Structure 1
């Protein structure tokens, strides 16, 4: 294997116009900073990227306005990992390809041999070192690599589908969310690009501008918007394109975090891999400690009564208070929330500073046949409906919501700052 001169990583974090399916959680917390298994979503990307040999810089690209929360997160992670992290803000949403192209000078500064690109809403084992090894093994020349995994025929219709040469793993055809079946190999939203990718994106920009100029009714469109998927599809059909694309297959866990329900399953996965990567983060049984079942993360500042039972697959955020006799399972309880004595919370996300009364039951219904087994692949997690979409009916309690004592909340979504006065089932409480 040849030595890598220098590597960078880019995380595409989107913007406020995205993440609508993640509401109401994204109404108070930037989606990239939503905590999963005790840490912001993009923390897991950065933690994986920093281990790449030769990595010098991580760039976060999105259209969120600069905020104290985002700035504080970057400063804290830079200090923890001793690596340069910068946020590059788009002047307007430019699409995944357009955003990369707009900041191409910053990405290419220092002359990196290759750079990783990761979508923010991806949750996986991030086999980045193995992926880079595969990329280099393809030999000299201009080429790029996509991380791929297998889905069922029905699930594949919701993702970018890859048709490859079975021997060389070269991508021969690529279609984003096809109307009919194309392939069970899907794009995982993790890439290794050579600098030549910008030549291909530039061609797509020119085509976009020509199309808008031709269509006089498209005056409100932004000609600088280019989707990375379109550039990839174009590269697989043009013989003189800027490089060959290969697909590296992973058999490890992968999913997307598009909804609150997906965050519950991502939480389970990240907790399970802590056994290998960060066992110190997992709560353990001990004197004057709560009863722990399976994988549980408890922030050091949380106060949990020793008579409570937590797990499996539970995350307790900073400053949370858990009362006596509480039962929590498959749930995230976010910073500053209070759970009263003898409450029962299953398949739920409790937002920051929410208050749950005594003897209250809050429960979601997840399409999950085996909750005790960490899922390894897309098609065995049990969280997909018949159309292939990840849609468990978990309950979401928004930030600063008050839920009284002795009520039942089932399969419902409660927007922030509400004071409930009774029980609810299968409702969205605005």
Structure 2
């Protein structure tokens, strides 16, 4: 079988809940467990010999960081990896339709479609084996509690045949506990269905422009920039509801860990889950230093004092220096940060090139999530509750934040380039 993989990475307008971590780096490139988030998706695709090419589609400008990342991925995996930039946000179905010529080039039998903020152990080979010839479109689903299902796309599934007989995106009332997990295996003729929707949706607004001219303009070789949102089509809201009940859409129900990485807080739990997966997939990435307890990743260029104690669930980035007697638990220390002697970091993300002073305590309040559970949603990861009050949360330091010695920072979000003079609790410092 000849397959391609398409990974949707979004754009600057998306990922606002990921701030301040996405202010300096696109969310898909944010390092989790030592590697950019989308690297884990690419790595999962490259494990499959059937996947011949990987396409990233997004609205980010192709800057130096993105170019370097793509080049490194190509060198590491030896596969064709290409970034395709949208001229505007086209929607989850509109963007793949816009680049359909690139996706269908080489006549693949089907393609994986993945969202970069959906994380699990990526059972892609299992999906290939599960998909029968009478299943043109396969969607991965996971089961969540009834009260959380309203935040996701819900699929009504015939458990005997695995057919999706009903689909509603973020319904007002309960539909099903089976939700869209953001990973698909689709036959190429999905573009015919999107094309019909495109014509039905936009034909009245074409005025004097013929459909043939529009279809020519929106090809990837000749970018057309209409004044309206002509090309914006949602896979979840517009395509899947039409396919449900047609005998063409089927569900691959996964019963293992899954996480939707929407907020900055959820990155810490993704870090925990990926480190746990390293035990079986990449045990060499986990540190065996005497001061490490549980799953810990330390970049080879980091300097960790022998008396420091790290873990469990800790990632230490490139060029990080951790001083004498420091304690780090359930946290991420990003590249170039300095954690001075006897400081304590708990349930926090320390941004790039931050400085944490001696005997200082930086901590957040964890939301307990079992990485062995079948699902994990992001309901508890938002900064504010329904009444607008700041939730007890992890602590996040943006880039280049300096914390003085002998203070406590608890449950706070610190924006980049701040030099604090005292401790804070339950604050957002802009």
1:231 pairs with 2:239: yes
In the other structure, the counterpart of 1:285 is 289
Offset of residue 251 of structure 1: 1.1
In the other structure, the counterpart of 1:378 is 375
In the other structure, the counterpart of 1:258 is 262
Query: Where do 1:103-122 residues align within 5 Å?
Result: 103-122=99-118
Structure-2-length-normalised TM-score: 0.90
Native 8 Å contact 2:410 2:424 kept in 1: yes
In the other structure, the counterpart of 1:64 is 60
CA distance in 2 between counterparts of 1:212 and 1:179 reads: 30
Offset of residue 392 of structure 1: 6.7
Offset of residue 423 of structure 1: 0.8
Query: Where do 1:364-375 residues align within 5 Å?
Result: 364-368=364-368, 374-375=371-372
CA distance in 1 between counterparts of 2:74 and 2:105 reads: 19
CA distance in 2 between counterparts of 1:127 and 1:157 reads: 25
CA distance in 1 between counterparts of 2:378 and 2:323 reads: 32
Offset of residue 210 of structure 1: 4.5
Native 8 Å contact 2:348 2:396 kept in 1: yes
Native 8 Å contact 1:343 1:359 kept in 2: yes
SS in 2 for 1:341: coil
* Deviation sequence 1:58-94 (CA, Å, 0-9, x none): 0000010011111101111111111110000001111
Native 8 Å contact 1:208 1:224 kept in 2: no
CA distance in 2 between counterparts of 1:363 and 1:35 reads: 20
CA distance in 1 between counterparts of 2:128 and 2:25 reads: 33
* Deviation sequence 1:270-316 (CA, Å, 0-9, x none): 00010111000000134xxxx11110000000000111111110000
CA distance in 1 between counterparts of 2:426 and 2:239 reads: 42
Q: Residues 302, 103 of structure 1: CA spacing in aligned structure 2 closer, same or farther, 3 A cutoff?
A: same
Query: Where do 1:328-407 residues align within 5 Å?
Result: 328-368=328-368, 374-378=371-375, 393-407=393-407
CA distance in 2 between counterparts of 1:374 and 1:325 reads: 29
CA distance in 1 between counterparts of 2:114 and 2:40 reads: 11
Offset of residue 29 of structure 1: 1.1
SS in 2 for 1:258: coil
Query: Where do 1:95-106 residues align within 5 Å?
Result: 95-106=91-102
Q: Residues 32, 380 of structure 1: CA spacing in aligned structure 2 closer, same or farther, 3 A cutoff?
A: closer
SS in 2 for 1:25: coil
Query: How many correspondences in the alignment?
Result: 405
1:205 pairs with 2:211: no
Native 8 Å contact 1:208 1:226 kept in 2: no
SS in 2 for 1:251: coil
* Deviation sequence 1:10-63 (CA, Å, 0-9, x none): 000000010000001000111000000000000000010011232110000001
Native 8 Å contact 1:366 1:383 kept in 2: no
1:49 pairs with 2:42: no
- Within the candidate set 142, 149, 163, 1:149 is matched to 142
Structure-1-length-normalised TM-score: 0.90
Offset of residue 204 of structure 1: 2.4
CA distance in 2 between counterparts of 1:72 and 1:88 reads: 15
In the other structure, the counterpart of 2:223 is none
Offset of residue 374 of structure 1: 3.1
CA distance in 2 between counterparts of 1:207 and 1:22 reads: 36
Q: Which runs of 5+ in 2 are unaligned?
A: 208-225
SS in 2 for 1:95: coil
CA distance in 1 between counterparts of 2:53 and 2:108 reads: 10
Native 8 Å contact 1:384 1:392 kept in 2: no
In the other structure, the counterpart of 1:180 is 173
In the other structure, the counterpart of 1:11 is 7
Q: Which runs of 5+ in 1 are unaligned?
A: none
Offset of residue 206 of structure 1: 2.3
In the other structure, the counterpart of 1:162 is 155
Offset of residue 209 of structure 1: 1.8
Native 8 Å contact 2:275 2:296 kept in 1: yes
Q: Residues 300, 90 of structure 1: CA spacing in aligned structure 2 closer, same or farther, 3 A cutoff?
A: same
In the other structure, the counterpart of 1:90 is 86
- Within the candidate set 211, 222, 225, 2:229 is matched to 222
CA distance in 1 between counterparts of 2:367 and 2:51 reads: 40
CA distance in 2 between counterparts of 1:326 and 1:354 reads: 15
